[in-house]
Structure 1
Amino acid sequence: MDLDGGNKRVYQRLGGPSGDSKHQKVCYHWQAGKCNRHPCPFLHSELPTPNVNGTSSKRPHGSADNSGFSGHRRNPHFNNTWGRGGGRGGGRGAGGGVVGGDMSVVRKADKVCNYWIQGNCNFGERCKFLHSWNTGDGFSMLTQLEGHQKVVSGIAFPSGSDKLYTGSTDESVRVWDCQSGKCVAVINLGGEVGCMISEGPWVFVGIPNFVKVWNTQNSMELSLNGPVGQVYALVVNNDMLFAGTQDGSILVWKFNVVANCFEPAASLKGHTRGVVSLVVGANRLYSGSMDNTIRVWNLENLECLQTLTDHTSVVMSVLCWEQFLLSCSLDKTVKVWYATESGNLEVTYTHNEEHGIVTLCGMHDAHGKPILLCSCNDNTVRFYDLPSFAERGKIFTKQEVRAIQAGPNGLFFTGDGTGQVKVWNWTPEPIPTIQ
């Protein structure tokens, strides 16, 4: 890869900094005559500036087929607007409070109040720390699920089921009833859960030296051997199951419909350390590793097509969104990759954080706008609009979030290092009323 030439092309594509960082929406607090945000991320004028991009990124609400996080597809006519701002302002909602009637603003520190957590903060709204587990509008916490004793490392919501499955390094999988929020079963596996996914009615769980498989419709249970060490990542494509393992291999099983079982099919070699993230998009498998690289595999012949070496630390998570590949690392960056005319991937945008990034999850808000969730190892999950990377909000946790999973009907779930699972919901923002 031509790194110098690639950087020049990336700079030319980005076109320099954005001129206007205001969200193209009228501030309804300003309309009511009581906006106290300085600066305000919204317009203090009656007419918003037209959208220069012309096209809307909204998709039909509630349609899983229109998720946009479906795979890597080349589009030579794409409009590169990565990191251009023009999105929502960050830190709305709980970012500041009004004290009494004098309209003076208490600027909240970016930290949850420990006394509030314990239920005995005497300062109330005058407290300089947050009395909330999140900042930002458009989402809220519904409930907390208590039971795991250690890190929640996987969350799965199999289709057609009314149960939520969570796996932990406490060597158990817990099954939760979605109506009552109660734990209805605990499955002890005898090994730490390294990852968990669902595909249709199937639930797949990675533990040391095995992949455990359940079919939630017919109660079938399987145990697939072959992995060496912990299984860190799983992904399914058509009738093939891929498992990223501690020794750097990616094991492949193919489902035999006649025998109703998974049969060993291949072992992909190339990574020199553990494979901790996998994603499939547009007939490609992407694998992120502790060796700081991403490998691109052809799903037809299972050959490695390219090795991406731009990250300088562990590649913790990879995600496909429309024609782009997104990756995050403990090197404190999210990188956006795009295919050149030759078919090879190169970085088209790099987003920097102050802390290492543990996992990525893509979903849509209540209005169908694509949102990227980035869990950082400073015990926060940051929400960004795509493609602008304008900050949308933030979740605070006692320990870092290792697992994020989108669910049906606007639900999503987070699992952190304390063993706590939180259930969240996307909610429409209030529509301003003009007097």
Structure 2
Amino acid sequence: MNSRAPGTLTVWRVKFFRRHRGETLLTASEDGCVYGWKTQSGNLLWRLAGHTGPVKFCRFSPDGRLFASTSCDCTIRLWDVAEAKCLQILKGHQRSVETVSFSPDSKQLASGGWDKRVMLWEVQSGQMLRHLAGHQDSIQSSDFAPSSDCLATGSWDSTIRIWDLRAGTPTIFHQELEGHSGNISCLCYSASGLLASGSWDKTIHIWKPSTRSLLVQLKGHVTWVKSIAFSPDELQLASIGYSRMVNVWDCNTGKCIETLKCFWQGALDVAHTCTFTPDGKLLLVSGVAE
């Protein structure tokens, strides 16, 4: 895509995979399948079928052993990475499941969707541990805090809820972060515990959840924000709106330091997700071709 001066983030062109509208790239598809790709070669590793509706979201576990996928079929599937097979089907949601997140220790899983429910699962057994109620509309995004003690969820009710998951906590609901005026479409914790939220109101907020403080507001997207990702050093944040553009922001000043146009072997209609590689040297972007 583009490159920058030495000593700062380098964003290289990444292959775009047209088959569907670390080292392995995981992508979800409306054809009900999950695809795994070799990032260096762009080769397809596997195509996993099983869901009976479009796959809405997929995510690797932090230990790299598993990944989870969610679907309009109201289920979550847990898959083994090494053997590329489904281990468990988690049932309990009554409508489409829109988001899923693993705890940092990979032992728990959180899910949310159009039934306004947040569910907490034990990964090993597939047992539902808790049902977290409180949002007034569909849950669209989620992420665990680095300590695993808290879970953040974002909703169409324009709020972010922070849930206290510690054993013996008298009340699970901990706090609510308000300030957006639209659906909270994406959430991302940094390694130190900062929380970024992207919204249909075309803004990104960076919060310090422990004090409920809004540290900085990022403005500049002309469409709703679809995906956000902190760089490993937390100095930069990448974001994607409903367009071909990727913005890279300075987290301290709130200024957009680079705007990148995505394309690969032709036009890219819409970019969907972005993520930094663990070393922070690459920014990977996936999307849908025209």
| TM-score, normalised relative to structure 2 | 0.76
Once the two structures are superposed, residues 115-174 of structure 1 have per-residue CA deviations (whole angstroms, 9 ceiling, x without a partner) of: xxxxxxxxxxxxxxxxxx989844532221101122222324446795543211221112
- Match of residue 94 from structure 2: 190
| Range that drifts further, 154-163 or 214-223 | 154-163
Aligned CA-pair RMSD: 3.3
Report the alpha carbon displacement of residue 335 of structure 1 after superposing the two structures with TM: 0.7
CA distance in 2, matches of 1:362, 1:193: 25
Count of residues in correspondence between the two structures: 258
Give the conservation status (yes or no) of the 8 Å contact 1:314–1:329.
yes
1:280 maps to 2:210 = no
Residue 193 of structure 1 aligns to which amino acid in structure 2? V
Give the conservation status (yes or no) of the 8 Å contact 1:295–1:307.
yes
Report the alpha carbon displacement of residue 333 of structure 1 after superposing the two structures with TM: 1.3
Change (3 A) 1:177 1:249: same
Give the conservation status (yes or no) of the 8 Å contact 2:112–2:141.
yes
Report the alpha carbon displacement of residue 298 of structure 1 after superposing the two structures with TM: 1.8
Give the conservation status (yes or no) of the 8 Å contact 2:208–2:215.
yes
SS of corresponding position for 1:170: coil
Report the alpha carbon displacement of residue 362 of structure 1 after superposing the two structures with TM: 2.6
Q: Which has the larger radius of gyration?
A: 1
Give the conservation status (yes or no) of the 8 Å contact 1:153–1:196.
no
1:168 maps to 2:168 = no
CA distance in 2, matches of 1:136, 1:175: 22
- Match of residue 161 from structure 2: 251
SS of corresponding position for 1:300: helix
CA distance in 2, matches of 1:135, 1:166: 19
- Match of residue 338 from structure 1: 250
1:223 maps to 2:137 = no
Residue 202 of structure 1 aligns to which amino acid in structure 2? Q
- Match of residue 142 from structure 2: 234
Match of 1:376 among 269, 287, 290: 287
Residue 357 of structure 1 aligns to which amino acid in structure 2? A
Change (3 A) 1:161 1:262: farther
CA distance in 2, matches of 1:90, 1:358: 14
Give 1 or 2: higher helix fraction.
Answer: 1
CA distance in 2, matches of 1:160, 1:350: 32
**Unpaired runs of at least 5, structure 1:** 1-16, 22-51, 54-78, 92-109, 113-132, 380-435
Give 1 or 2: higher strand fraction.
Answer: 2
| Range that drifts further, 239-248 or 150-159 | 150-159
Change (3 A) 1:90 1:193: closer
1:202 maps to 2:108 = yes
Change (3 A) 1:331 1:145: closer
CA distance in 1, matches of 2:55, 2:226: 16
Report the alpha carbon displacement of residue 240 of structure 1 after superposing the two structures with TM: 1.5
Change (3 A) 1:142 1:161: closer
- Match of residue 402 from structure 1: none
Give the conservation status (yes or no) of the 8 Å contact 2:38–2:45.
no
**Unpaired runs of at least 5, structure 2:** 20-35, 263-267
The answer to which structure, 1 or 2, has the higher relative contact order (CA under 8 A, 6+ apart) is: 1
| Matched ranges for 1:353-364 at <5 A | 353=262, 354-363=268-277
